[in-house]
Structure 1
Amino acid sequence: MITIYDVAKKAGFSSTTVSKALNNYSDVSEKTKQQILRVAAEMGYLPNAHAQSLSTKKSWTIGVMFSEANEVGMKHPFFNGVIESFRKYVEREGYDLIFASRNLRNRDISYLEHFQYRAVDGIVVICSDSKDAQVREMINSTLPITVIDRMDPGCSVIHSDNVAGSSLAVHYLYSLGHTKIAHIAGDSKTDAGAARIRGYKDAMKQLHLPIPEEYLINGGLFSIKEGKHAMEQLLSLRDRPTAVFAAGDHMAIGAIEAVKEKGLSVPEDISIIGFDDIEMSSYITPKLTTIKQDTHLIGERAAKMLLNQITKKKKMIHSEVIPVELIIRDSCRTISKKEK
């Protein structure tokens, strides 16, 4: 069996330095750490998890909670992409993930109690439900925590620039000649939904464009079905919009389906732009123009944010906003003055 002393001898460092490198101590340089990790991997060294926990006072586990009002969770491509990036980063640093089961809701135990019982070193919450009491309980605890997709002053949070993204969508449609721009909004009870509504309204005001009451329509919890239903309502209007900004790609896909069922065409009869840039967006017909969220960067930055708290053994309050990007495909077109 390969021991830490064998790794130290081959790597040319003391057993103390090797131990610190394997346990990710900050007083070992990155170059030294990588050299030791490479030698350990080549020798097939596997540290004893129990011994690691005793020596470092850490469990080397991170709790993961999805707070989704529509109970989609990891099924949604955005959240799936974020947690995959997060997982890859923390696993490289030696951590494992523990996912909270939804069955906990049917037992007399909270998510926080579950994670405390499992002795996790920190918690990441993937959240679109801003009213979730269990999320608030964890934020108020002493455990290191990072919350993704929520704006909260009480903990470390990371989210896309939803306001700027919505403004980008509206300005792009305006640049194509559109002035009748409707918004299929995400639920305003979610932070993302509320921020995207604000971005839409701000951009329309800046461009001196009116927002008829019926042009701002609730698309619910970002699903294809709800997007389709919202689009059907817009298509029934006497003065219907020439362009629609949907607060999520799933809703935009539902909207496109509604247009097709009406015997109309995207973008010939109506332009549609989404938000997310999920993989499906580039494969549907027409390919969806959208606002891209950088799921890889969000997951990686969230991991760094949480591990920094765990390493320093201190809960921190920090906020980071990740830029978004306009991805132009085929679902929007330029219109002439007489078409407005």
Structure 2
Amino acid sequence: MTNLKKVSMKDIAERLNISKNAVSLALNGKPGVSESTRDQVLDLARKLNYAGFTTDDSAYNCRNILVFIPEYIKDDSFFYNDIYWSIDNYSKSHGYNSVMATISSQMQENLSLPPILTQLNIAGFVLVGIFNEDYVKFILKQNVKTISVDHYYSNLNMDCIVTANLEGAYTLTKKVIEMGHTKIGFVGSINVTSSIFERWCGYQKALIYSDIKINYEYSITKTSPLGILLHDPDELYDELKRLNELPTAFVCGGDRIAIALLEALKKLGISVPEDISIVGFDDIALSSFVSPKLTTMQVKRKELSKVAVNHLLNKSDIDDENVKLSIYPEYIERESLIKAKGL
């Protein structure tokens, strides 16, 4: 009797003329390979009956969590990579495999589901980041347990795990006020994401509760030019020059915005924090490497992921009650915030 050779990742790699590492990333739903390569690997794995991808292995196939990630997140990997890998770790701790699906703008417009859905049965969906509302409605119609991480859709009744952005921005702004600042601006595109809008509201709440008049001329909250949204220092430089008066401190809607603002202020010959203090939000890795190191609010990415996975797996298929859960961020004091001049 002839023994059948067990198919290995090396066999798949050689057939597709790609590296063994690329095969491993594709099979495990990890970032680092294109969607077309991922589809080719999974298709060949099924055809060759690679372990875990046989058509009759339903026990394996039903223990997968599909993580939807919009394509634009590739430009914000500082923040979202931590969330994805934390979801992956917590999924594995429950005996589940997480599979990443990158969703392009065209897929959202065409209401197209990721091809991997035809190859694996899925126990639940996790949406990371911001998607078009119509696309989220389409996902919800698939009758698969779904939860959104780091963003909620005010017009949709669905489960979501988010950061307590308003409360966090309130705490952050109060810290700025405690340092003697009363001329405080805000930078961030408030009409694009619920997170930045809530941080804008928290900033205003802190000023109002401290009996400080809000001067909107200190703030840059527009979504156009596009560079403001994309954290472009050159666009921020132009916007700063248009302000009639600069504040003594800026609260930023995110660390990337704060870092871009830091560069723009330096270009204007303004020193941070000696002339103007800056605080951010998120605590991305880069915030502790810039000069000065950024004072910020630390978003609990691991906690967001842990709560999301636990809630998704513990929710029954017939449970119609949806929840919005908030995780409080933590104030991280570094170097970019000092006392106002004269104190």
Seen in structure 2, the aligned counterparts of structure 1 residues 54 and 117 have a Cα distance that, compared at 3 Å, is closer
2:257 corresponding residue in structure 1: 251
1:103-157 Cα distance to aligned partner (Å, 9 max, x none):
583699634474653431110001234x432122213442101101122451211
> SS of the counterpart of 1:224?
coil
1:242 corresponding residue in structure 2: 248
Identity %: 26
1:198 corresponding residue in structure 2: 201
Seen in structure 2, the aligned counterparts of structure 1 residues 219 and 88 have a Cα distance that, compared at 3 Å, is farther
Seen in structure 2, the aligned counterparts of structure 1 residues 54 and 283 have a Cα distance that, compared at 3 Å, is closer
TM-score by length of 1: 0.75
Seen in structure 2, the aligned counterparts of structure 1 residues 214 and 52 have a Cα distance that, compared at 3 Å, is farther
Residue 334 in structure 1 maps to residue 339 in structure 2:
yes
Seen in structure 2, the aligned counterparts of structure 1 residues 266 and 116 have a Cα distance that, compared at 3 Å, is same
2:235 corresponding residue in structure 1: 229
1:124 corresponding residue in structure 2: 126
Pick from 297, 314, 317: which aligns with 1:313? Answer: 317
Seen in structure 2, the aligned counterparts of structure 1 residues 91 and 55 have a Cα distance that, compared at 3 Å, is closer
Whether contact under 8 Å (2:199, 2:253) holds in the other structure is yes
1:65 corresponding residue in structure 2: 68
Whether contact under 8 Å (2:64, 2:97) holds in the other structure is yes
Q: Which structure 1 residue ranges, 5 or more long, are not aligned? A: 1-46
Listed as ranges, the matches of 1:175-324 within 5 Å are 175-218=178-221, 220=223, 223-225=230-232, 229-230=235-236, 232-309=238-315, 312-316=316-320, 317-324=322-329
Whether contact under 8 Å (2:218, 2:245) holds in the other structure is no
Pick from 171, 175, 195: which aligns with 1:172? Answer: 175
1:94 corresponding residue in structure 2: 95
**Cα distance, 1:231 vs structure 2:** 5.4
Seen in structure 2, the aligned counterparts of structure 1 residues 180 and 307 have a Cα distance that, compared at 3 Å, is same
1:63-91 Cα distance to aligned partner (Å, 9 max, x none):
111246xx134743221111111101112
Give distance in 2, aligned partners of 1:54 and 1:102: 26
Give distance in 1, aligned partners of 2:181 and 2:198: 22
**Cα distance, 1:274 vs structure 2:** 0.2
TM-score by length of 2: 0.74
**Cα distance, 1:315 vs structure 2:** 4.9
Give distance in 2, aligned partners of 1:272 and 1:222: 18
Give distance in 2, aligned partners of 1:289 and 1:256: 12
Pick from 320, 325, 330: which aligns with 2:330? Answer: 325
> SS of the counterpart of 1:275?
coil
Letter in 2 for 1:224: H
**Cα distance, 1:207 vs structure 2:** 1.4
Whether contact under 8 Å (1:228, 1:251) holds in the other structure is no
CA RMSD of aligned residues (A): 2.8
Listed as ranges, the matches of 1:8-19 within 5 Å are none
**Cα distance, 1:61 vs structure 2:** 1.6
Give distance in 2, aligned partners of 1:212 and 1:136: 39
Whether contact under 8 Å (1:145, 1:315) holds in the other structure is no
How many residues align? The count is: 286
1:4 corresponding residue in structure 2: none
Whether contact under 8 Å (2:166, 2:199) holds in the other structure is yes
Whether contact under 8 Å (1:292, 1:326) holds in the other structure is yes
> SS of the counterpart of 1:284?
coil
Q: Which shows bigger deviation, 161-170 or 105-114?
A: 105-114
Seen in structure 2, the aligned counterparts of structure 1 residues 336 and 55 have a Cα distance that, compared at 3 Å, is closer
Residue 163 in structure 1 maps to residue 166 in structure 2:
yes
